[in-house]
Structure 1
Amino acid sequence: MHHRKLSAGEVAGTYHVTAPVTEAELLSIAQAFARRRLARGRKITQPALAFEYLQILLQDYEHEVFSAIFLDTQHRVIKFEELFRGTIDAANVYPREVVKRALAQNAAAVILVHNHPSGDPEPSDADRRITQRLKEALGLVEVRVIDHVVVGGDGYQSFAEAGFL
């Protein structure tokens, strides 16, 4: 972690803040850590941790952003990619484009993710419909949808955990 106000602590994974930091700087440090945790080659063994990183990265957008984490057969990250950007209330999601990206990345599985700018992570009916359509479309090319995570300032909701998948 290269940040001029951080230095590594004696215990692995701990850091000293070496100068006063603003809230904005703290957020940018958190976002840099989160991006690193979702970087290529990282294995997602604890989905709940991945959800926290996603929340840090997506909770402050004013508009809806629909992204995907493409994974290999070992559930290691190939790429975390923003796919669609929407208005305040909905992102237009095109299954064909998601399938094209999954094939281009040679993905075996995918975790879908989008944010709710309202803050409430409760999935809408439209969220459930698009998840079903994506699951069917990706299934045809043998890419498994492991989860769809909705994040908001108030937390996150996992389709897999809630039994929606």
Structure 2
Amino acid sequence: MEHKVFAVLLLDNQHRLIEYAEMFRGTIDSASVYPREMVKEALALMDVRTLSHVIVAGRDAVSFVERGLI
């Protein structure tokens, strides 16, 4: 039985390939794709120190570190 693959190309900011990841498999009719799993894969490749400088927009603009998320 043939199956289809949902793959993700993870690129750097210069559009160079970092990793090719086959994330999900399914049939020609359907495949379950979970965005949170794609985000996990991308975050696993990121330098976590970068996240400490990201500001969460909104009323109380604070960084991930200030929110205790890192």
Is the shorter-chain TM-score for this pair beyond 0.5, marking a shared fold?
yes
Measure the CA separation in 2 of the matches of 1:88 and 1:76: 30
Measure the CA separation in 2 of the matches of 1:77 and 1:104: 15
Residue 93 of structure 1, CA deviation: 0.2
Tell me whether 1:88 sits opposite 2:28 in the alignment: yes
Counterpart AA for 2:11? L
Task: State the superposition RMSD in angstroms.
Answer: 1.7
Structure 1: unaligned runs, 5 residues or longer: 1-61, 107-165
Q: How many residues align?
A: 46
Measure the CA separation in 2 of the matches of 1:64 and 1:105: 25
1:77 aligned to which of 8, 17, 25: 17
Counterpart AA for 2:7? S
Residue 88 of structure 1, CA deviation: 3.2
Q: Structure 1, residues 28-49: CA drift from partner, whole Å, max 9, x if none?
A: xxxxxxxxxxxxxxxxxxxxxx
| Larger strand percent | 2
Tell me whether 1:98 sits opposite 2:59 in the alignment: no
Matches within 5 A, 1:1-165: 62-106=2-46
| Larger helix percent | 1
Counterpart AA for 2:41? R
Structure 2: unaligned runs, 5 residues or longer: 47-70
TM-score for both structures, normalised by structure 2: 0.59
- 2:10 is paired with a residue of what secondary structure? strand
Extract structure 1 runs of 4+ deviating beyond 3 A: none
- The share of aligned pairs that are identical, in percent, is 62
